[in-house]
Amino acid sequence: MENPIKIFDAQNIFDYIEIGYPYHPKNPAFFILKKGRVVYTENVDRIELTANHVAIIDSRRVYEILEISDDLELLLVAFSREYTEKLPLNINRLNAFVWFRNELVRHFRLEPEPFDSIWKTIGLLKSVLQRPEPSAHRDEIIRHLFSSTVYLFADMIVHASRFSKEKISRKQEIVLQFLKNVGDCYLEEREVSFYADKQFITSRHLTSVLKEVTGQTAGQIIAAFVMKEAKAQLSTTEQSLYEIALNLKFSDQYSFGHFFKKHSGESPNAYRKRFRG
């Protein structure tokens, strides 16, 4: 991304998102949907956004667009992580990018008034970014408007997190925390005991809760995360199977190929050929 901030709308949104296969977004983003419907997966989580929904897009995660309506009205603010690191923000004394990434609640529907506030703020930021004439204070205006956007999202997330914690059961909280932990660590850690220890519960209890709430075991969910990443690298990069196997922390490409075929029914090469003309 040439500029540290770029705003997309319904006319050019396909310059940011990919259709037809799992992928990593090039940059993190704030997604604001005023009208229409978008269904996608974030790693293994299926997310449906409709009118007045907002979401955080994390470039470290794997996304796949499942459905997208024709009547979209949206704004998407893509930004570089380096840009947020230079902003004088005070959000839990953490860099904003890291803080958003660590939150359990990252997509939610807003009431009309807060949604209108975020929509107008981003609309103003978009107009400043698009102005052709130079301005002595352009960079400062952009920085303050973007900082305002970050703070608005932070307030919404804090509110949504508190509300969600009041509504979810202990078992649902265990599942959400497990999914977050796996999303952060699945390339380095695939042992169920590691994720159980992070929540101070036994592996048996973790697997039992996951099976009850999701219908899947801990091992199946971890494998699903690995498969999403594998498919993203196979479909969007030119790396060899050996390089991808190393990226995914397999001992060699043969063990990677066995794993991939076990969980998809086809070889990595057969999957990759779908995306080669």
Token representation of residue 232: 């993203």
Residues 6+ apart with CB under 8 A from 188: 249
CB atoms within 10 A of CB 41: 17
Distance CA 241, CA 274 (A): 15
Residue 81: which domain range? 5-167
* Same domain assignment for residues 90 and 41: yes
The CATH number of the domain holding residue 154 is 2.60.120
pLDDT digits (tens, 9 = 90+) for 128-171: 998 877 777 888 999 999 989 988 888 877 776 665 555 678 88
Class of residue 42 by CB neighbours under 10 A (exposed 0-12, middle 13-18, buried 19+): buried
Residues in the chain: 277
* Same domain assignment for residues 55 and 83: yes
Name the pTM for this structure.
Answer: 0.84
Distance CA 257, CA 215 (A): 26
Report, in angstroms and rounded to the nearest whole number, the Rg of the chain calculated over CA atoms: 20
Q: How many domains does the chain have?
A: 2
Task: Select from 136, 152, 167 the last residue of a domain.
Answer: 167
Token representation of residue 174: 């265990």
**Which pLDDT score is estimated for 76?**
97
Residue 114 identity: P
* Same domain assignment for residues 118 and 197: no
Residue 100 reports pLDDT greater than 60:
no
The residue ranking higher by pLDDT, 154 or 270, is 270
Task: Select from 120, 141, 167 the last residue of a domain.
Answer: 167
pLDDT digits (tens, 9 = 90+) for 108-123: 898 999 999 999 999 9
* Same domain assignment for residues 41 and 157: yes
Distance CA 184, CA 274 (A): 29
Residues 6+ apart with CB under 8 A from 212: 171
* Same domain assignment for residues 141 and 192: no
Q: Are residues 79 and 52 in contact, defined by beta-carbon separation less than 8 angstroms?
A: no
* Same domain assignment for residues 157 and 117: yes
* Same domain assignment for residues 82 and 193: no
Positive/negative CA dihedral, 206, 211, 217, 221? negative
* Same domain assignment for residues 46 and 148: yes
Residue 96 reports pLDDT greater than 60:
no
Distance CA 119, CA 54 (A): 10
* Same domain assignment for residues 134 and 215: no
* Same domain assignment for residues 161 and 56: yes
pLDDT band at 90 (very low <50, low <70, confident <90, very high): low
The CATH number of the domain holding residue 262 is 1.10.10.60
Distance CA 154, CA 82 (A): 18
**Which pLDDT score is estimated for 159?**
72
pLDDT digits (tens, 9 = 90+) for 211-265: 999 999 999 999 999 999 999 999 999 999 999 999 999 999 999 999 999 999 9
List the one residue out of 175, 237, 233, 163 whose CA is nearest residue 201. Answer: 175
- Over residues 27-50, the mean pLDDT reads 95
* Same domain assignment for residues 41 and 141: yes
* Same domain assignment for residues 162 and 191: no
List the one residue out of 63, 52, 74 whose CA is nearest residue 27. Answer: 63
pLDDT band at 82 (very low <50, low <70, confident <90, very high): confident
Distance CA 268, CA 260 (A): 6
CB atoms within 10 A of CB 103: 15
- Over residues 82-94, the mean pLDDT reads 67
Residues 6+ apart with CB under 8 A from 172: 213
Task: Select from 167, 197, 229 the last residue of a domain.
Answer: 167
**Which pLDDT score is estimated for 94?**
44
**Which pLDDT score is estimated for 93?**
41
Distance CA 225, CA 240 (A): 20
